[in-house]
Amino acid sequence: MYEEKVMDNTGKINISEEVIAVVAGVAASEVQGVAEMNNSLAGGITELLGKKNYSKGVKVVIEEEQVKISLSVTVAYGCNIPNVATEVQEKVKREVETMTSLKVANVDVFINAIAMPKVEKTKESSEK
């Protein structure tokens, strides 16, 4: 957990890794071409219980005042994978730094799958 010490006796600010993971997850999922964030086992159970897990597929490590973020994503079929990954890196870095005032050292993006478009069955193919 990151703790910022305030010198004017107003208190201190603590930002947990989970908060940073949520910010990063929401930012990444807003990038066009990201079909979904990949689940961990705990994230999958959370979603089965009906709760939206915005931090799924995100790992955050805070070292001093620097943040290292790793994201696992599924990219939509037909998208340029390097462009999507670069846009995810830039957006996540910008959003985390803006919202937390922490320096993002790096954002690693792991493309784990391609989301294929759903093919609708036509009436003719279902009659065969």
Output the pLDDT for position 114: 92
CA–CA dist 111, 67 (Å, integer) = 21
If one counts the domains in the chain, the total is 1
Q: Is 123 within a domain? A: no
Output the pLDDT for position 84: 96
Output the pLDDT for position 7: 54
Handedness of CA 58, 63, 68, 72 (dihedral sign): negative
What torsion do the CA atoms of 96, 30, 44, 78 make, to the nearest 10 degrees?
-130
Average pLDDT over residues 53-61: 84
> Measuring CA to CA, how many Å separate 26 from each of 6, 18, 29, 97?
29, 12, 5, 14
Residue pLDDT, tens place only, 75-127 = 999 999 999 999 999 999 999 999 998 999 999 999 999 988 887 766 655 55
CA–CA dist 52, 49 (Å, integer) = 9
pTM for this model (two decimals): 0.77
Query: What CATH number is given to the structural domain containing 103?
Result: 3.30.70.1350
Q: Is the per-residue pLDDT at 70 higher than 60?
A: yes
Q: What count of other Cβ atoms lies within 10 Å of the Cβ of residue 54?
A: 19
Residue pLDDT, tens place only, 18-56 = 999 999 999 999 999 998 888 644 444 444 455 567 778
Write out the residue range of the structural domain in which residue 43 sits. Answer: 2-117
Ordered alpha helix ranges (H), 30-114: 41-48, 81-100
Output the pLDDT for position 107: 96
